[in-house]
Amino acid sequence: MEISIVIPLLNEAESLPELTRWIARVLQANGLTYELILIDDGSTDDSWAVMEALAVDDATLRGIRFNRNYGKSAALNVGFEAARGRVICTMDADLQDSPEELPELYRMIVEDKYDLVSGWKQKRFDPLTKTIPTKLFNGATRWISGIQLHDFNCGLKSYDQRVVKSIEVYGEMHRYIPVIAKWNGFRKIGEKVVQHQERKYGVTKFGLERFVYGFLDLASITFVSRFRRRPMHFFGTLGSLSFFVGILLTLWVVGEKVWLSLHNLRARNVTDQPLFFLALTAVIIGVMLFLSGFLAEMVQLNGPRRNDYLVREKLN
């Protein structure tokens, strides 16, 4: 099978018939073998009934239904696990993404050997309240990850199967799949300008909270991907630094006091000088960071995923 199309959906019943027909038309016209995996992320409208009806005479359609709403990342993750194609494409269910882009997204993976290709909605049809924060979000993510994409959160993407099978997304992390992929060693990341339409039916499923959660997730991803296997390197470095500064300050404070007394000069109480408090705080923070590092190291050591390194190939 050449392509798996993975589509998370929440209350998109009106769009589904048109969406599935359009995808089938485009892929068949290009002679591609495919499966369509729809993940109903706890819809409360008739999305599932519509999917059941569509599946009756469409053998390419597979459906997964969550018992409640878990979020787009969860839906994608389950879709990725189920996918059997050589290339996996994702898109939104609301007809904002065009299926016409799929053949080229597929070709870029297979022929140009990209690990991941992300869509870029160069001309967007969304309200300003969304496009402006999105620009900030993309700028910050580019800066932190070093990946030069314009539109990290574009729903339309294609992946080499190896990428999809090696990453796990949860929370709101679907926004950072290119970042996670890069940190797993998939460095050939491409971009394709894609068509974008206004939402035809229904309403958007994300509010402004997306930006708050989005940034918190970026912080966790950055931390986890760098230090998950060696938390002591992070906490230990900071802790030692703080402890060392604290000790130097202590030596200074004590030394000054001793020196002044030896020379029979009047010295103020050590507690009367600000440096004393700085020294105290630095030592305490240093020790606390160090202990956090030890604890994190122990938790990590006993965790279930201690040695899950990603092996690319094997001989014999």
Positions 59 through 118 that interact with Mg ion (CB under 5 A): 92, 94, 96
Nearer to Mg ion among residue 29 and residue 132 (C-beta): 132
Site string for ligand UDP, 276-305 (x = CB under 6 A): ------------------------------
Nearer to ligand UDP among residue 93 and residue 163 (C-beta): 93
User: Is residue 77 a contact residue for ligand UDP (CB under 6 A)?
Assistant: no
Nearer to Mg ion among residue 35 and residue 92 (C-beta): 92
CA end-to-end span of the chain, whole Å? 26
CA dihedral 240, 241, 244, 246 (to 10 degrees): -110
Asked if 36 contacts 7 with a C-beta cutoff of 8 angstroms, the reply is yes
Q: Which of Mg ion, ligand UDP, none does residue 206 bind (CB under 5 to 8 Å by kind)?
A: ligand UDP
Q: Determine the interface stretch with ligand UDP among 56-64, 156-164, 204-212, 276-284 (rule: CB under 6 A).
A: 204-212
Angle (nearest 5°) at CA 196 between 193 and 199? 160
CA dihedral 298, 304, 306, 310 (to 10 degrees): -160
Amino acid at position 273, single letter: Q
Q: Determine the interface stretch with ligand UDP among 91-99, 103-111, 222-230, 269-277 (rule: CB under 6 A).
A: 91-99
Nearer to ligand UDP among residue 86 and residue 130 (C-beta): 130
Among 3, 8, 20, 286, binds ligand UDP (CB under 6 A): 8
User: Is residue 205 a contact residue for ligand UDP (CB under 6 A)?
Assistant: yes
**Closest Cα to residue 149, out of 127, 108, 172, 182?**
182
DSSP for residue 304:
T
Among 204, 220, 237, 261, binds ligand UDP (CB under 6 A): 204
**Closest Cα to residue 35, out of 68, 70, 60, 67?**
60
User: Is residue 96 a contact residue for ligand UDP (CB under 6 A)?
Assistant: yes
Q: How far apart are CA 9 and CA 15, in angstroms?
A: 10
Q: Which of Mg ion, ligand UDP, none does residue 257 bind (CB under 5 to 8 Å by kind)?
A: none
Nearer to ligand UDP among residue 42 and residue 239 (C-beta): 42
**Strand pairing partners for 38?**
7, 63
Measured from the CB of residue 206, what is the shortest distance to Mg ion in angstroms? Answer: 8
User: Is residue 178 a contact residue for ligand UDP (CB under 6 A)?
Assistant: no
Instruction: Specify the long-range contacts of residues 61-68, CB closer than 8 Å, at least 24 apart.
Output: 61/20, 61/35, 61/36, 62/35, 62/36, 62/37, 62/38, 63/37, 63/38, 63/39, 64/37, 64/38, 64/39, 64/40, 65/39, 65/40, 66/39, 66/40, 66/41, 66/42, 67/42, 68/42
Q: Which residues of this protein are in contact with ligand UDP, per CB under 6 A?
A: 8-10, 12, 41, 69, 71-72, 75, 92-94, 96, 155, 204-206
Q: Which residues of this protein are in contact with Mg ion, per CB under 5 A?
A: 92, 94, 96
